[in-house]
Amino acid sequence: MSDFTTRPELRGTFGMVASTHWLASAAGMAMLERGGNAFDAAVAAGFVLQVVEPHLNGPGGEVPILLHDSARRLTRVLCGQGVAPQAATIEAFRDLGLDRIPGSGLLATVVPGCFDAWTVLLRDHGTLSLAEVLEPAIGYAEGGYPVVAGITAAVGSVVDLFRDHWPSSAAVYLQGGRVPQPGQLARNPAMAATYKRLLADSLVGGKGREDVIDAARRQWSQGFVAEEIDRFCRTQQVMDSSGRPHGGLLTGDDMVGWQATYEQPATLDYFGLQVCKTGPWGQGPVFLQQLALLQGFDLGALDPLGDTFIHIVTEAAKLAFADREAYYGDPDFVDVPLDVLLSADYAAHRRALIGDTASLDLRPGHVDGKDAYIAEDQISADEALHLGGGEPTMATAAPPSVPTAGPPRAPGDTCHLDVVDRWGNMVSATPSGGWLQSSPVIPELGFCLNSRAQMFWLDERAPSALGPGRRPRTTLTPTLVMRDGAAHLGMGTPGGDAQDQWTLICFLRHVHHGMNLQQAIDAPTFNTRHVPASFFPRSRSPGHLAVETRLPPATLAALEARGHRLERAGDWALGRLAAVGIERHGRDRVLKAGANPRLMQGYAVGR
């Protein structure tokens, strides 16, 4: 493979920010230049992403955050994934005649979690004020931000829905009644006003920094934001992907009863590194299960662009993701046997199933005392090869059609950001949800709600079954890697079910093949949709393998000979990775970063 990369791996000593949008990276770097730390930078970047990538995330969405606080020697998960409303029961959906939770509209909304998570991170680990970290986002929402091609595609895919059914969204995202074009400035003054009011209300009484942040959190969960969300869900009937209009189940009481929480990460030791992920309320442990399986292969001896490497990694993914379907759910409600799933003995048994040809079967493993249950009767047949699912990568030219009388399913996706600072603090976060195409804009707030509940199953036997107060088994999955008790790597990508495939491939090529971060990000990648999708309409394509066509022709031919059903996705079509890292040379600390060139949007900055 050539040493050429689309941009350099950045190296420096002061700080690095990498994200899926250049304006968010720049905003994060501005906080570091003000004297802030990685946590301040991450919060500022996260709020900017809500404005400049409204098709990929928003204030009504959620975010899981992995962090390492070097001064406190703490590595934690900060869970910004909200829970299902108290009224969200399987019976309630069955009474509406639904066998799947719609992929859009108000019925699929859970408690919005990202605002509380970002502000808790700022309060507990940051140093700057809430006003300082919100300043860039407010500025772009009020003064304008440049439209990227993904916004044009997303709005264009739902323009009739906006005009016919969601007029509040049309008022924000259709400029003069037309789809905004790339390069034009777009604004969201209502969102800017919401954040300005949160700031103004929280400053009443001249409180200290932490008190101001907590006051803003209360205004969100108990004050005017919660009141408007409650009113909108109670009074509006909006068209969704079921083909019928429905109201929402989320109430102000649901919002009052939830806040972001800290957790210990799920971890696995891998060649001297400790890899940290979210718990099994997300798909994060799938990454760890794949590593446990792959420890039995000499990956470093394989060509990272060859068919043997791609075949082994793909087959390991099929096994790990099958276990996700069979066992993962909110551990506050479901007994997830994670200790067994990550054990060496279990991995050795599962590893023996990886043969020389592609498996077409869905094969969860056996755990003593547990039933490996998959809600197969709710999985849609999907023989057509196309990218993505309910949350496809934005590289998809057009979303697959859904046989419904309702609005078309629009492409949705996710954002990602990573930050490292000169003190050795590190953050990896994957904000998502509240996409402009997921639900109509609440006019008084300037943003829409999430549709994350679509990831629940309406089947009591499923480990990720819907239930009040439960977290959906999200696909959002940042990665933090430690070495000798210090932060080493932070990385991740948008992409729904492909997140823990694309990030894993990048990680393996960096660790085993000596690629620097930018080389590993740029290298042609792949992913499978062999397992049931996490998003409406929950489709599955047995044997599917999407590949970037920059892979050698001999590799593609050999993969087909092994029985993989190839989807040739294009030269630069898969993955939107960002990554930061720290190298230690004696007492010297070198910071590094890379970002995805695909879609010409992601960027890393640093010095």
Greater confidence (585 vs 524) lies with: 524
Which pair of tokens denotes residue 331?
């551990």
Instruction: Report yes or no on 209 lying in a domain.
Output: yes
| DSSP E strand stretches across 327-409 | 380-381
Checking if the pLDDT of 411 tops 50, the result is: no
What digits encode the pLDDT tens for the residues 517-564?
999 999 999 999 999 888 877 788 999 999 999 999 999 999 999 999
What digits encode the pLDDT tens for the residues 300-334?
999 999 999 999 999 999 999 999 999 999 999 99
Which pair of tokens denotes residue 387?
């990218």
What pLDDT is recorded for position 388? 27
What pLDDT is recorded for position 343? 98
Across the range 42-55, mean pLDDT stands at: 98
Residue 509 gets the label, from left (phi > 0), alpha (psi -120 to 50) or beta, of alpha
Instruction: Report yes or no on 512 lying in a domain.
Output: no
Partner residues linked to 68 by β-bridges: 75, 426
Averaged pLDDT score across all residues of the chain: 92
The rounded distance, in Å, linking the Cα atoms of 73 and 374 is 39
Instruction: Report yes or no on 605 lying in a domain.
Output: no
Instruction: Report yes or no on 256 lying in a domain.
Output: yes
The rounded distance, in Å, linking the Cα atoms of 393 and 416 is 13
What pLDDT is recorded for position 207? 81
What pLDDT is recorded for position 381? 56
Instruction: Report yes or no on 183 lying in a domain.
Output: yes
Across the range 185-192, mean pLDDT stands at: 98
Largest Cα–Cα separation, the chain:
71
Instruction: Report yes or no on 234 lying in a domain.
Output: yes
Q: In what order do the strands lie in the sheet with 15-19?
A: 261-263, 74-80, 63-69, 426-429, 417-421, 15-19, 603-606
What are the distances in angstroms from CA 451 to CA 165, 220, 455? 17, 19, 9
The amino acid that residue 398 corresponds to is: A
What digits encode the pLDDT tens for the residues 432-450?
999 999 999 999 999 999 9
- Asked if residues 100 and 453 have their Cβ atoms less than 8 Å apart, the reply is no
Closest CA to 81 of 283, 375, 290: 283
- Asked if residues 230 and 252 have their Cβ atoms less than 8 Å apart, the reply is yes
Structurally, the chain folds into a number of domains equal to 1
Q: Which residues contact 403 (CB under 8 A, 6 or more apart)?
A: none
What pLDDT is recorded for position 390? 37
The rounded distance, in Å, linking the Cα atoms of 334 and 139 is 43
> What is the enclosing helix (H) or strand (E) of 590?
strand 588-595
| Strand bridging mode 526-527 / 486-492 | unpaired
Angle at 217 between CA 247 and CA 220, to 5 degrees: 25
Domain hosting residue 64, numbered range: 10-260+417-455
Q: Which residues contact 254 (CB under 8 A, 6 or more apart)?
A: 83, 85, 86, 111
Name residue, tokens 């016919």: 164
Instruction: Report yes or no on 68 lying in a domain.
Output: yes
Instruction: Report yes or no on 547 lying in a domain.
Output: no
| DSSP E strand stretches across 288-385 | 380-381
Angle at 440 between CA 435 and CA 445, to 5 degrees: 85
CB atoms within 10 A of CB 184: 14
CB atoms within 10 A of CB 434: 26
